[in-house]
């Protein structure tokens, strides 16, 4: 009986230490058209180009993920090319 309780306690500790699963949060979604049956959505793309590479082959299109939330913390500044007219 003690051995069984020891094994159960160790098992609970191992399960409690593991990291919890979280849904992936990416900024681009491929929208699949399914005709009369309905379509699907795959919001697992990091860039627009990656999304379109998948979407082109399937006859679908890409949209911004409305549920996307960027990770917390400081983000690196984006470089913007400016054109100067002289």
Q: What is the pLDDT of residues 21-37, one digit of tens each?
A: 666 689 999 988 765 56
Structure tokens at 69: 């939330």
Which residues span the domain enclosing 58?
A: 31-68
Q: How confident is the model at residue 20 (pLDDT cuts 50, 70, 90)?
A: low
- Residue 49 belongs to some domain of the structure: yes
Please give the Cα distance from 46 to 49 (Å, whole number): 9
Whether the per-residue pLDDT at 50 is higher than 60: the answer is yes
Per-residue pLDDT, 52: 93
Domains in the chain: how many in total? 1
| Res. 14 pLDDT band, cuts 50 70 90 | confident
Question: pLDDT band at 83, cuts 50/70/90?
Answer: low
In a domain, 82, yes or no: no
Asked if residue 37 belongs to a domain, the reply is: yes
Q: Is 4 part of any domain? A: no
Q: Looking at the domain assignment, is residue 50 inside a domain? A: yes
């Amino acid at each position: 009986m003690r051995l069984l309780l020891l094994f159960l306690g160790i098992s609970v500790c191992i399960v409690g230490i593991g990291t919890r699963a979280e849904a992936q949060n990416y900024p681009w979604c491929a929208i699949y058209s399914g005709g009369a049956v309905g379509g699907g959505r795959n919001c697992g793309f990091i860039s627009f180009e990656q999304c379109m590479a998948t979407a082109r082959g399937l006859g679908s299109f890409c949209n911004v993920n409305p549920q996307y939330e960027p990770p917390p913390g400081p983000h690196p500044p984006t470089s913007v090319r400016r054109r100067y007219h002289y």
